[in-house]
Amino acid sequence: MLNHLLSLNVFLPLIGVFFLLLIKNKNTKIIKTISSSITGIQLWIIFQILAGFNRQKSGLQYVEHSKWTESLSIDFFLGVDGINIIFIALTSIVFFISILTFWKKNKSVKEYLIIFLLLDTGLMGLFLSFDLFMFLLFLGLTLFSLYFLIIVHNDKTKDKFHRLGFVIIIAYSFILLGVLLLIFGNESFSYNMLEISHASSYSHGFEIITFLLLFIGFALLFPIFPFHSWLISSITKLPVYINIIILGIIIKIGAYGLMRLGFYLLPYATIKLSPLLGIIGTVNIIYGALCAITQKDLKNMIGYYSIMQIGFVLLGMATIKGGAVNNFQAAITGISGAWFHIFNHGTIVIILLLLSDIFPLNKIKDIKISENKKWASSIFPGIVILTLFAGFGLPGFSTFISSLFCLVGAIQLSGINIFAMISVIGIALNIFCFFKWFNILFSNFSGNFDSIFSETKKHYIFILLPVIFIILILGIFPDIFLSLINISVENLVKLITMFSVK
């Protein structure tokens, strides 16, 4: 069993789907129990993988590699390294929390959770695959499961989500075209990512074209300005348990795909186009911060806040340029910061979304309660204040470490440092944004906290506290995270340095 933890993690949700198909629709409690048990077991598997992961070992671990089809040279190839271990861990956390927030719902439960588990399988397979055919297969399963997950929940207003379906088709088309070029452009027509990365047989022009195709596809999923409108329009209409999936992990697909297919397989294009990542990252930071400040609804604010944080990820990724100018430490610092920031955003956005569900800012002014502010002595104001500090990126919180790494890495590199300096403006705007949200919340709400904290949401406390604990513990002891990715990031920088100068 321990030799097949990765395949178990990928296909366990499909076993859950099989059982759900055998259960009648009216047995919602059984359906929810099976689905939550699946995500709980996945979380346990991730803990086992993390516990057995060798932080000093270079290369893939827990490898499962066998021939799938001999004639087409397609392999069943799963593995984990410091680059993708973060994504499968975040996926498990996000899906487990999402189903807990869904627990009190009774609409289309069976249909929703079947697609929910298919989406789970798609993401796990996407992050663990090292065969390009499998990558495309699981990416398609992920994107179209996401679309149908939203449609099942919004069957009466599904026309509002046609834009998302269009974005998914366009994004997948660009990525598919880029992957096909990767396959048919290498001398051995290999699907194996490791073989392609070590051969690096593409011409410079070919790399540039392929990288741009992949970048456009993944930019739509990030989302990057100006391709972000689908995100804002979607999350304002969707419930918290779907938004947790979208903001917690779906928009991270773009960063992972660009790293795994772009950086590893197209090193020359990566170095040449790294300033482009810095430019777009800086635009995202400033634009996202300015838009977040103007929002009166917390969901909208979270959407633009996420766009800003994606900007920091791109800025950190742009430091890969350091590998070509012999500033390896700058590249390692920036890339490590980008990956840390991806995880940190996934955790803090869960808290923000849950708080937006508890305290919808656009409804707070309509609440008129004559009772005293008994809730002021409860634990929730403390959670709000800790969230405020984490959103600021204050020292002692994990968000401070990751954003600092992105900026420190970028500021050491000529051509990238100017973007780091401009991005500091975004940090100041972000602080102002969180202050505004905090002020609206505490100045407009008066009354007994329990009066608006319904029975369907009281279990949120058991979700919020562990997530806040993760943010605090990683802020105080960041090496818990950084030691997972250090070796893989160093190897990536060395690989790009080796092949980008060919």
Place of tokens 């990956």: 339
Residue 360: what pLDDT? 59
Average pLDDT of every residue of the chain: 84
Residue 370: what pLDDT? 33
Between the alpha carbon of residue 477 and those of residues 88, 396, 474, the distances in Å are: 21, 9, 5
Q: Do the Cβ atoms of 390 and 397 come closer than 8 Å?
A: yes
Give the mean pLDDT of 161-177.
Answer: 86
Residue 336: what pLDDT? 94
What are the tens digits of pLDDT across the range 105-151? 877 889 999 999 999 999 999 999 999 999 999 999 999 999 888 88
* DSSP category for residue 131: B
DSSP conformation letters of 291-343: HHHT-SSHHHHHHHHHHHHHHHHHHHHHGGGGGGTT-HHHHHHHHHHHHHHHH
What are the tens digits of pLDDT across the range 294-308? 887 778 888 899 999
Residue 479: what pLDDT? 93
Length of the chain: 502
Strands (E), 420-461: none
What are the tens digits of pLDDT across the range 458-483? 677 788 888 989 999 999 999 999 99
Rg (CA), the chain: 22
Give the mean pLDDT of 5-20.
Answer: 94
Compute the distance between CA of residue 389 and CA of residue 471 in angstroms, rounded to an integer. Answer: 11
Phi, psi values for residue 395, rounded to 5° = -55, 140
Compute the distance between CA of residue 103 and CA of residue 25 in angstroms, rounded to an integer. Answer: 15
Compute the distance between CA of residue 208 and CA of residue 194 in angstroms, rounded to an integer. Answer: 20
Is pLDDT above 60 for 444? no
Secondary structure element (H or E) that encloses residue 66, with its range: strand 61-69
Q: What is the residue extent of each domain of the chain?
A: 2-500
Residue 380: what pLDDT? 66
Higher pLDDT, 384 or 31: 31
What are the tens digits of pLDDT across the range 46-68? 999 999 999 988 889 999 988 88
Query: Strand, helix or coil at 105?
Result: coil
List the structure tokens of 239. Answer: 């419930």
Higher pLDDT, 89 or 417: 89
